[in-house]
Structure 1
Amino acid sequence: MRAARFHNFGGPEVLQLDEVAWPHPADDQVLIRVHASSINGTDLGLRRGGGPFRLTLRRPFTVGLDVAGEVVRVGRRVSAFEVGQRVYSLLGHSGGGAAEYVNAKASRVALAPSSVGWAEAAAVPLAGLTALQALREGAGPNLRPGARVLVYGASGGIGAFGVQLAKHFGAVVTGVARKEKLDFVRSLGADAVLDTQDLASAWQGEPWDVIFDTPPALKFSDVKPYLGQSGVYLSTRPIPTSPGDIGGMLARSGPRFASVMTKERSQDLTYLARLIDDGALRVPLDRTFPLSEIVAAHQYAEGSTVRGKVVVNI
């Protein structure tokens, strides 16, 4: 079967299509015929070899952290899924999604939303789960009806889901993005929008209950004065990187820091699928590419014009 892999770290040009052996599911796995896999910021970081990846990632590595496709085989201990079902999954940092077939643990798989196509379904897992878990668990009681929520990076995959989910939970949402993308952010349901160049105006007026930094690009120490007494700064940075972050994470009172550790939970994927099928959540799909154009897909995903998600059709 074909798989998009890199043997060395670098730019999009290191990606190539290789012929590799079919995977065989373990007892707790589902074998999926992949129809689409999205590109996430983590994919780009893995490919570049940034941070710890340069030391820990085994190569050659097949890119693609989330997939949508159909079940073609199930492991002996799997009873929740049957051959032929439409499913989607977050594979995690093991990757493997940009290939014709992939194994996934059954606990990471859910029935795909029935109202959208393969590309839209594949755009959901990592970005949707990150936004959902950050807001529902990281923000906690701060995410209440009428809460003031600021989503920074609102035009990206996580940010686009974040705007919609915060609105779904009853918050009053301000989305921050590049000027040319503000109409897109408005279309997601944001109550107000701000150009990233005008972020200083966000610190005037009432304090924020939640600041959701999706790139992440802000600092807790910089935004802490603009959070309410029980406000929370949510970052997609998985671990605190400064003394201020650590202090905010350990704080018993006052504004706090919360990092997002995305969990591959099938029940959360089921919840997102229900929201999509009920029309309460729109999948922010920007553009699709065929697997044969994986290099171009990564080049586009790294650009500054992306609104929402980029997906590779397999």
Structure 2
Amino acid sequence: MLQGRGGPEVLACAEVPDLGAPRGDEVLVRVRASSVNGTDLGLRRGGVPVPWMRRGGFVPGFDLAGTVVACGPTVTAFAPGDEVVALLGHRGGGQAEYALVRQDRAVLAPRGVPAAEAAAVPLAGLTALQALYRRAHLHRRPGARVLVIGGSGGIGVFAVQLAALAGAHVTATASMVKRDLVASLGAHDVLAPDEIRGTYDVVLDTPGVLPASAAHRLLGSGGLMVSTRPASAQAVRGLLTSALGGPGYSVVATSARPTDLSRLVRLVEDGALRVPVDRVFPLSEASHAHAHLDSGTSTGKVVLAVAEEPVP
């Protein structure tokens, strides 16, 4: 539970009120694993507002893998015992033993995939997919030159693969020690940020660190830069400049589209999409997971294990 703003030490295990029986189209899920995303870090550090945080604290976690244990009266897509993955709403709650999830935010989990890997897919995978396909329309840009900023991060490891699967020529940024992994995911070129040269058809800024003005030097004619931080000042500036005739600029606000999540699940099941998990921590060591991410040494996803085995 997040008990304030600050360093990893503000995270602690705590008892929370019983969620009660699922209502309407909700399913009650026994959580097996939940990944730690940039949103969790932003909430803890104070960079993301949490107007709904109660005095008792906030349960983070915006995606999960787990087992359905009960269904609301209008649920049609699932039954108790189903293994699911889900993208939760802005109120989080995935880093707990149980979570209530609306059925349109969940899909059946990829078969034969460990829960820790399955839980790493929803938020980061959907962000990458929707940025590249729903914003940049990469499927309509055969042979596009794509630059992924942060190719070794949680979103970046999916973006590199999805761009490569679309037939793009993929360039990604990564530190020296992480270059081999990023190359193995399908990047044709892996560079340090200061080595970037030339222009691209699509630039995906996965950590949301590029100034909007970078679009002028990085984009070719008809190119598009996409940021994963839609509420940032840089994003507002980029959108305004683009609307006034400047370089193409867009943002992605990740949506719980079951068709998109099912697409990712199929790719994982088929072995076409790898889920690079850097480390798995028990839920009781959430603060250590955050400290590991803060260190900048992680590659891919960091996951919290909640329950080791499926519920009978």
| Aligned equivalent of 2:19, options 9, 23, 26 | 23
Asked if 1:294 corresponds to 2:283, the answer is no
Cα distance in structure 2, aligned partners of 1:291 and 1:34: 11
Q: 1:286 to 1:232 in 2, by over 3 A?
A: same
Cα distance in structure 2, aligned partners of 1:112 and 1:141: 26
Contact 2:39 2:48 in 1 (8 A): no
Could you tell me which amino acid in structure 2 is paired with residue 96 of structure 1?
A: G
Cα distance in structure 2, aligned partners of 1:142 and 1:28: 33
Offset of residue 168 of structure 1: 0.8
Name the residue aligned to 1:101: 98
Cα distance in structure 1, aligned partners of 2:42 and 2:138: 33
Name the SS for the 2:12 alignment partner. strand
Name the residue aligned to 1:161: 158
Offset of residue 58 of structure 1: 3.3
Cα distance in structure 2, aligned partners of 1:141 and 1:168: 10
Offset of residue 77 of structure 1: 0.7
Q: Describe the superposition over 1:132-172 as per-residue Cα deviations: whole angstroms up to 9, x where unpaired.
A: 00000110257522100000000001011000000111111
Equivalent positions of 1:3-152 (< 5 A) are 5-24=1-20, 25-53=22-50, 57-59=53-55, 60-140=57-137, 144-152=141-149
Cα distance in structure 2, aligned partners of 1:310 and 1:172: 28
Name the residue aligned to 1:250: 243
Q: Unaligned 5+ residue runs, structure 2?
A: 307-312
Q: Describe the superposition over 1:158-195 as per-residue Cα deviations: whole angstroms up to 9, x where unpaired.
A: 01100000011111100111122111111111111101
Name the residue aligned to 2:225: 233
Deviant stretches of 4+, over 3 Å: 55-59
Q: Describe the superposition over 1:186-207 as per-residue Cα deviations: whole angstroms up to 9, x where unpaired.
A: 1111111101242xxx233xx2
Offset of residue 127 of structure 1: 0.2
Cα distance in structure 2, aligned partners of 1:56 and 1:248: 33
Q: 1:51 to 1:22 in 2, by over 3 A?
A: closer
Name the residue aligned to 1:264: 256
Name the residue aligned to 2:197: 203
Cα distance in structure 2, aligned partners of 1:258 and 1:142: 17
Contact 1:143 1:166 in 2 (8 A): no
Offset of residue 223 of structure 1: 2.9
Offset of residue 220 of structure 1: 2.4
Cα distance in structure 2, aligned partners of 1:7 and 1:58: 9
Name the residue aligned to 1:311: 303
Could you tell me which amino acid in structure 1 is paired with residue 84 of structure 2?
A: V
Could you tell me which amino acid in structure 1 is paired with residue 283 of structure 2?
A: L
Cα distance in structure 2, aligned partners of 1:7 and 1:115: 36
Name the residue aligned to 1:214: 206
Offset of residue 49 of structure 1: 2.2
Q: Percent identity?
A: 51
| Aligned equivalent of 1:285, options 277, 280, 305 | 277
Name the SS for the 1:267 alignment partner. helix
Name the SS for the 2:4 alignment partner. coil
Offset of residue 65 of structure 1: 0.9
Cα distance in structure 2, aligned partners of 1:137 and 1:249: 18
Cα distance in structure 1, aligned partners of 2:115 and 2:294: 22
Could you tell me which amino acid in structure 2 is paired with residue 177 of structure 1?
A: A
Contact 1:142 1:209 in 2 (8 A): no
Contact 2:146 2:168 in 1 (8 A): yes
Q: CA RMSD in A?
A: 1.7
Greater share of strand: 1
TM-score, normalising length from structure 1?
Answer: 0.92
Offset of residue 310 of structure 1: 0.3
Offset of residue 278 of structure 1: 1.1
TM-score, normalising length from structure 2?
Answer: 0.92
Q: 1:197 to 1:203 in 2, by over 3 A?
A: closer
Could you tell me which amino acid in structure 1 is paired with residue 197 of structure 2?
A: W
Contact 2:215 2:248 in 1 (8 A): no
Of stretches 156-165 and 216-225 in structure 1, the one that deviates more from structure 2 is 216-225
Could you tell me which amino acid in structure 1 is paired with residue 89 of structure 2?
A: G
Contact 1:11 1:47 in 2 (8 A): yes
- Number of residue pairs aligned between Structure 1 and Structure 2: 303
Could you tell me which amino acid in structure 2 is paired with residue 156 of structure 1?
A: G
Q: Unaligned 5+ residue runs, structure 1?
A: none
